[in-house]
Structure 1
Amino acid sequence: MKRNSTLWIVVALMLIFLLTITYLPLERAVINYIMIFAYILVLLSVNSSKSFIALLVMVLGYGFALTFYCYKAGFTGGIQAQFVVLHLFLTASLLLLWILFYHVKRLIKKVNVLEAQVQNLEKYEDVPNLLSENEFVSQAQLLITGTKRRNESSYLLKVQSTHQNETSKSTLYTATKICLEMLRNNYDLVTRYEDQMLLIFLQNTDESGAQVVINRMKEKLKIEFSTSAVSIQSTPIDTLESAFEDFNVRMNEA
């Protein structure tokens, strides 16, 4: 429906342009073309609300200018009608241009949002078994309910790059692959949280078990990184919310 409306706007603009060429003398219509071109530059430079104000100023100013010109020149009858049509054509052209650019800008904004969503999904395609943030929270909460019922303990690990620059993403990517290779599939959970850190849910383990995992991770990370590029923290899980608070991380609702 929106595509059809945009197409009709383009058709209407072309029709107005053809009528202007057919009905009005070029020497009088040329000012319309100049103002339309100037308004296109305005549409490309400012947002929709400001461009609409510019439309009102141009239409009203042009109307007063034509009225004053006709009055001073003493035009009557058919010549005045030409100037009225000139003003109507310009008003319709500018209004249709504003509507067209408004639709185009909204379309571009939607496309950008969709591209961002696609990129967000693609982050997980290259690393198997890496959960999204919502999946991690949802599955971890289910596992916590089961471990409490069985009187078992669980730990949450936070793996974060010590770099605060462009290399942090590549460091985190490498750490993600290493962690997934050594953790228990279909048992432990891993997510890349807000693209800044890894969160790892260790099911049915105590402090010593969590420390064993941390030590193994550090050994494997040392092979990839010559310096201490990654920090690893751990905290016992009473509730997932409290564990996130221990790491000063905001928990997204599942």
Structure 2
Amino acid sequence: MSWLLSILFILIYTYNTVPPYYYFIFGILALLFFSVSDRVAFFFYITFVLVTVFYFLFLAFKDDWQPSQQAMAIGLHFVFLLHLFSLYSLSKYMYQVSSENRMLTTRIEELEDYVLEDEVLTRREFEKRSESVLSNMRRRNETGFYLKVSLIGLKRTVRKNVLLTLAGMMHTTFRKDYDLVGQYDDTTIVVLVQNTNEQGLEVVMGRLDKLTAERLEENALKQIRWTIKKIDGDKVLDETAVVK
């Protein structure tokens, strides 16, 4: 507020002294500060300082300014530069805040791709990666399996803990850098196993059954519903990548 009052007073005081295009250049620079990067804004500011200094020197020699005129020009020039520098500082601060917000947004999006410390994927990331995996499987004519685990039969009080525990065990049991394990929603875990036949899946499921028997209660195990679907290399994406 004080800045606005100050610049308004200067405009009124210098209205009949300073040519209008000075104000126009000042306004253009002010807008540029808030529309370009910090370095570019600083470049414009330094350029403006140097150009105006030499321009006023030229006018002083050309028109043979008196000491009083020189003092007024120096004072007005300093005041204008001071206000312009305050705008530059504000634009720099806003640019830094904007950059930090973009970095935080990117980081949050990266973190949102995982719902657990075990790097279990979210629904969005699972579907995105599944498209690439299934495309490669079709091209190489590979087989795989699509697993869907439903916990809808469990009580709400225990569902979340069972889901987190089971998802973590599945991520540990399946190939971490090869197979995809995701939390599709609050009651569903999905797994995409690529380049695996029935014997390979049977081995993995055997290890998983052992872990679930050790860490989950028998009553909870009875309420878990498993759906296993084989994926052939010639399957289309919509048939295998989306939970119906």
- Shared topology, TM-score over 0.5? no
TM superposition score normalised by structure 2? 0.45
